[in-house]
Amino acid sequence: MPMVFGNLNDNSGTGVAFTRDPATGEKKLMGEFLTNAQGEDVVAGVRTPMPIAQMEEKFPEAYAEFIDVCNKLEDHYRDMQDMEFTVENGKLYMLQCRNGKRTAQAALKIACDLVDEGMIDEKQAVLMIDPRNLDTLLHPQFDAKKLKAAVPMGKGLGASPGAACGKIVFSAEEAKAWAARKEKVVLVRLETSPEDIEGMKAAQGILTVRGGMTSHAAVVARGMGKCCVSGCGEIKMDEENKKFELAGKTFHEGDYISIDGSTGNIYDGVIPTVDASIAGEFGRIMAWADKYRRLQVRTNADTPRDAAKARELGAQGIGLTRTEHMFFEGDRIAAFREMICADTVEERVAALAKLEPMQQSDFEGIYEAMEGCPVTIRYLDPPLHEFVPTEEADIELLAKAQGKTVEDIKAIIASLHEFNPMMGHRGCRLAVTYPEIAEMQTRAVIKAALAVQARHPEWTMVPEIMIPLVGEVKELKYVKDVVVKAADAVLAEAGSDMKYKVGTMIEIPRAALTADEIAKEAEFFSFGTNDLTQMTFGFSRDDAGKFLGAYYEKKIYENDPFARVDQIGVGKLIKMAATLGRETRPDLHLGVCGEHGGDPSSVEFFHKVGLDYVSCSPFRVPIARLAAAQAAIKNEK
Ligand code: PEP
Ligand code: MG
């Protein structure tokens, strides 16, 4: 190839340009040009280039030809081009072109414009958008200029996207108190537990030392659409003295910190954030996605507020309501603790009776927010010790309420201790030992559905009851019998012929292996891929972050299996369970409600194995809708 020289003389030059604005997507040539220079001079930033439009004055012929080339290249590649060129003695030479990188907003605008210009069709437009980038349109982000100048001082997992900036607080109570004083706070914890929910709500963002992509903090924050960086092991935490060390600096309560839940970066001090803005093109792309996808998209939501948000973002139902989250709020925790610490069935039933109306009203709120769309309520799942008090004052309070001594309560709490709670007394095992819990939850589900049905005759309420952590058909049958008896009693009393469904989660490998048996009792399966991943790999979803880094470094695993489904191993179980289940029950409804339901590559896998829906946290609903459409279009043939 002959070489051309942009730095030959003043009648030569070089430039870089985009056929459309890569920041906004606007259809106008964007770029820079330098006379008597070569490419490196533009990139190195030693000289200040002129805007591309000025090239027209200096090199009118080369500029006209360049515009012509731009149009040709766009026509050929049917996408926005990023080009480099040189002018030697007034003559234009093209050096290279490629599809230009762009912001999420620009991606949407360019895709829509290309459709309007007749360059691509709707399906191609849908395929052009990276679903992961939609996140940036839905959450606050750091001011791009300020971020450029900032250097991260640490890094955790980008567990829930968005950016947050605020004063450090170390407890949920402080978060609430400071937020009530209109202070913006970032809640920094070793890890979070369900007791922290109110504090998480009050904070701008959450930073944890421990925990992976499916840890409590990550899952709950994603549900709330709140920025979260989890598992930053570099932090040396001293919760007692309200301080931590990171990057050689000590941070105290009230110091400013900024965190980026998309990259996992942690910054010292203030980086201002800007609010999300959803432009009109977003809706157009989503409507096209909905036209071409086969998978339904539901949401994981535990509150009417999250449910309403998810509806707004296009959710077609709820695939998972984690009922345990409801037991932590306000005065419920007291009644729930009474239930746990009950000595007799009568005591337990009395405590549950206090909870029933509260659960019923929660469910009514969720049903209302979902406007008649299907709602799957998952029964109590976590081990009971998660709910017992840890503070002396709370223990005393409970003892008083129960008419027991502090020692009695402490002994009960000690008896609930488990070495491995994730594989302990949780899930349907709770309902097997304490059927009263499942009875109460069933009454609440059915009564709520009846009440909402009465208020909205135009909806057809069909409650879906989901039994978690099943590994053996007989345990499912046992709990199902409890559920059916309680449900039928409520319906009979109301004189209603309302239909309801009882299904299960497939989240224990044994359930997948015996799915043909399980399907005899289950009307639907929802793959709980968080637990299924945990139990298939045999490592804890909360602790794996500690060693997975070494696995990526050593190229043993490429991705976090809790974020992107392991298609080879866990995927084999899902495929097998889907096939076996449908052999028994051809109309078995299949979904997934683990965190993978919002991961684009996992969504493609779920499409291919023939699931009916994916369910994910509200802010990931648009991502899943787009990913589902892309899966359908890519696999059309
Ligand atoms: C799962 O295990 O995938 C699931 C959705 O349930 P949870 O995360 O509540 O255990
Ligand atoms: Mg689970």
Per-residue pLDDT of 522-548, as tens digits, reads 999 999 999 999 999 999 988 898 899
**Which atom of ligand 1 approaches the CA of 528 most closely?**
3
pLDDT at residue number 277? 60
Q: Does any ligand 1 atom lie closer than 6 A to the CB of residue 530? A: yes
pLDDT at residue number 32? 86
Out of 85-99, 132-146, 500-514, least confident range: 132-146
- Name the closest ligand to CA 530: 1
pLDDT beyond 80 at 474:
yes
CA 148 to ligand 2 centroid distance, Å:
40
Cα separation, 458 vs 24, whole angstroms: 43
Q: Which of 214, 429, 527, 531 to mutate to test the pocket of ligand 1 (most atoms within 8 A of CB)?
A: 531
Q: How far is CA 616 from CA 22, 541, 592, in A?
A: 30, 17, 8
* Residue 346, both tokens: 């009568």
* Terminal CA-CA length for the chain: 42
pLDDT beyond 70 at 165:
yes
Cα separation, 298 vs 591, whole angstroms: 9
Q: Which of 322, 378, 532, 614 to mutate to test the pocket of ligand 1 (most atoms within 8 A of CB)?
A: 322
pLDDT beyond 90 at 568:
yes
Ligand 1: which residue has its CA nearest to atom 3?
528
Q: Does any ligand 1 atom lie closer than 6 A to the CB of residue 281? A: no
pLDDT at residue number 17? 92
CA 528 to ligand 1 centroid distance, Å:
5
Query: Is 593 labeled as catalytic in the residue annotation?
Result: yes
Ligand 1: which residue has its CA nearest to atom 10?
531
**Which atom of ligand 1 approaches the CA of 507 most closely?**
2
Q: Which of 112, 139, 165, 216 is catalytic?
A: 216
- Per-residue DSSP letters for 445-513? HHHHHHHHHHH-TTS----EEEE-S--SHHHHHHHHHHHHHHHHHHHHHHT-----EEEEEE-SHHHHH
Ligand 1: which residue has its CA nearest to atom 6?
528
Q: Does any ligand 1 atom lie closer than 6 A to the CB of residue 381? A: yes
Confidence of residue 458 (pLDDT cuts 50, 70, 90): very high
The segment with the largest mean pLDDT, out of 88-97, 193-202, 323-332, is: 88-97
Q: Which of 220, 299, 320 to mutate to test the pocket of ligand 1 (most atoms within 8 A of CB)?
A: 320
What pairing do the DSSP bridges indicate for beta strands 249-252 and 256-260?
unpaired
CA 570 to ligand 1 centroid distance, Å:
14
pLDDT at residue number 390? 85
Out of 81-95, 220-234, 485-499, least confident range: 220-234
- The chain-wide mean pLDDT, for the chain, equals 93
**Mean pLDDT across 256-268:** 94
* Residue 211, both tokens: 């925990």
pLDDT beyond 80 at 215:
no
**Mean pLDDT across 12-21:** 93
CA 316 to ligand 2 centroid distance, Å:
22
CA 274 to ligand 1 centroid distance, Å:
33
CA 486 to ligand 2 centroid distance, Å:
24
pLDDT at residue number 141? 86
Q: Does any ligand 1 atom lie closer than 6 A to the CB of residue 156? A: no
Cα separation, 243 vs 48, whole angstroms: 46
Contact 36, 6 (CB under 8 A): yes
pLDDT beyond 60 at 102:
yes
Confidence of residue 43 (pLDDT cuts 50, 70, 90): low
**Mean pLDDT across 97-119:** 93
- Name the closest ligand to CA 597: 1
Cα separation, 378 vs 192, whole angstroms: 22
CA 302 to chain centroid: 14
Read off the pLDDT of residues 129-163 as tens digits, 9 standing for 90 and up.
999 888 878 888 898 889 989 999 999 988 888 89
18: helix, coil or strand? strand
What pairing do the DSSP bridges indicate for beta strands 205-208 and 185-189?
parallel
Q: Which of 593, 596, 607, 616 is catalytic?
A: 593
CA 193 to ligand 2 centroid distance, Å:
15
Confidence of residue 278 (pLDDT cuts 50, 70, 90): low
pLDDT at residue number 279? 58
Bigger pLDDT: 75 or 276? 75
**Which atom of ligand 1 approaches the CA of 526 most closely?**
5
**Which atom of ligand 1 approaches the CA of 214 most closely?**
8
Beta bridge partners of 502: 465
Q: Is the pTM of this model over 0.75?
A: yes
Query: Is 216 labeled as catalytic in the residue annotation?
Result: yes
Confidence of residue 253 (pLDDT cuts 50, 70, 90): very high
